[in-house]
Amino acid sequence: MMGAMIKSFYAETENLKPENIFSVSIMPCTAKKFEQQRDEMTQKGIADVDAVLTTRELAKLIRLFNIDMDNLEPELADSPLGTRSSAGKIFGTSGGVMEAALRTTYAKITGKEMKKFKIHEVRGHKGRKEANLKIGEINLGVAVVSGLKEAETLLQEIREGRDDIHFIEVMACPGGCIAGGGQPINSKPKAIKSRMKSLYEIDEKESIKVSHRNPSIIEIYQQYLGKPLSAKSHELLHTTYTKRYNILL
Ligand code: SF4
């Protein structure tokens, strides 16, 4: 998504040609290296993202070039697109995408913000978390699974008739991107837990906790995308998948 916005909205705002931008995405995920090459993630033949580095590779580069992280001057991110809400930051942990989406869902349904932006039911280390939440007059069933085995089990229950879940978050990696394939190899469970804890601590401290109050997001929709699910946002921010082969389980 960020790649698509850089090569479209950012390029137009800064009067740059998309083909003259080289965009590098640093991710906790080895699968993003494949995703970068997907035809669906190009616009007029130009890739949304030109290269993907995993966090592990970034750490190697930092060591290779003897970069002293402790003594680097902090810098603000470039704008536009430079402001991040903590709703986006907690995406890194299992349950984070769900919690971020529910914060905005709550505001859209009730017209008010949540008093406390914490949804304990979708937090924690379990491979499956479920909750039934009352938002306004709506009872919303949600499920969060991480690890594809958990996803399989849940989908089987749904195939067999479960109909109390309206919204599901699936993370392929157990624990979410904090334990992604691009992260340090052989991370101990303690390290994964501490990454999860850090993300929630960041969320606790930050002032913008919902994406719909992020000035960068508001600006993008006002100036460029129109509204969520507009034709332009579909074109740039959504994708489709086709079945390639059957995996025998
Ligand atoms: S959960 Fe794993 S596979 Fe999915 S985006 Fe995160 S790191 Fe990649």
pLDDT digit string, tens, across residues 36-73 = 999 999 998 999 999 999 999 999 999 999 999 999 99
Model pLDDT for residues 69-124, shown as the tens digit of each residue: 999 999 999 888 899 999 999 999 999 999 999 999 999 999 999 999 999 999 99
Question: Do the Cβ atoms of 32 and 25 come closer than 8 Å?
Answer: yes
Is the pLDDT assigned to residue 247 strictly greater than 70? Answer: no
Q: 170 falls in which pLDDT band (50, 70, 90)?
A: very high
Q: Which ranges of 36-124 would DSSP assign to H, the alpha helix?
A: 55-64, 86-89, 96-110
CA of 223 to the centre of ligand 1 (A): 31
Residue 141 lies in a domain: yes
User: Does some domain include residue 243?
Assistant: no
Same domain as 60, residue 37: yes
Is residue 246 assigned to a domain? no
Say if residue 16 is in the same domain as residue 126: no
Do 49 and 8 contact (CB within 8 A), yes or no?
A: no
Residue of 4, 165, 157 lying closest to 81 (CA atoms)? 4
- pLDDT for residue 242: 86
* Domain shared by 201 and 103, yes or no: yes
Average the pLDDT over 227-234 and give the result: 95
Pocket of ligand 1 (CB under 6 A): 28-29, 31, 171-173, 176-177, 180
Which residue lies with its CA nearest to atom 8 of ligand 1?
29
Residue 209: give the domain boundaries.
86-213
Q: Are residues 179 and 92 in the same domain?
A: yes
The pLDDT of residue 243 is: 83
Name the residue of 173, 185, 187, 195 to mutate for ligand 1: max ligand atoms within 8 A of Cβ. Answer: 173
pTM: 0.92
Provide the pairing of β-strand 128-135 with 138-146: antiparallel
The span from the CA of 64 to the CA of 187, in Å, is 21
Six-digit token string for 196? 């999860």
The 10s digit of each residue's pLDDT in 178-221 is: 999 999 998 999 999 999 999 999 999 999 999 999 999 999 99
Q: Are residues 59 and 140 in the same domain?
A: no
Rounded to the nearest integer, the mean pLDDT of the chain is 95
CB atoms inside a 10 Å sphere around CB 173: 20
The strand pair at 128-135 and 51-54 is best described as unpaired
Q: Are residues 104 and 209 in the same domain?
A: yes
Which protein residue has the closest C-alpha to ligand 1 atom 6? 177
Whether residue 107 sits in one domain with residue 18: no
Ligand 1 centroid vs 176 CA: distance in angstroms? 6
CA distances from 199 to 24, 85, 130 (A): 23, 12, 21
Residue 229's pLDDT band (cuts 50, 70, 90): very high
Q: What is the pLDDT of residue 248?
A: 63
249 confidence band (pLDDT: 50, 70, 90)? low
> In this structure, are 110 and 186 located in the same domain?
yes
